[in-house]
Amino acid sequence: MVTSATGDQHAAIERRLREILKRDTAMPDPMLIARDEDLLTAGLSSLETVTVVLSIENEWSIRFDEASLSRQMFKSLGALCTAVNERVGARTA
């Protein structure tokens, strides 16, 4: 069973993801990106996605399998939050 994050947990995940994007990418101010804005269109490079995934895995002690690593995961900050939340929930379930 996968549990979903509470509103506070989800906000904390999103805030931390923004910090990771700011630290690990050359994106113009990830703190101002709309939650539904396409991250790749907003300036995230395909090479930077690798760094971001590694940072996410280290931050939350989770792993993404190859099948889950797709452009869809970076469709938006919201999609990335959902992907993290699902894995964090699966780890704690």
pLDDT, tens digit, 9 for 90 and up, residues 21-44: 999 999 999 999 999 999 999 999
pTM for this prediction: 0.86
Given a cut of 50, whether residue 3 has pLDDT beyond it is: no
Cα–Cα distance, 69 to 64 (Å, whole number)? 7
Distances (CA, A) of 53 to 1, 37, 69, 74: 24, 18, 9, 10
Cα–Cα distance, 23 to 4 (Å, whole number)? 26
pLDDT by residue (tens digit) across 38-78? 999 999 999 999 999 999 999 999 999 888 888 889 999 99
**pLDDT computed for residue 22 by the predictor:** 97
**pLDDT computed for residue 92 by the predictor:** 59
User: How many other CB atoms sit within 10 Å of the CB of residue 24?
Assistant: 19
Is domain 7-92 annotated with CATH 1.10.1200.10?
Answer: yes
**pLDDT computed for residue 91 by the predictor:** 66
Residue 54 amino acid letter: L
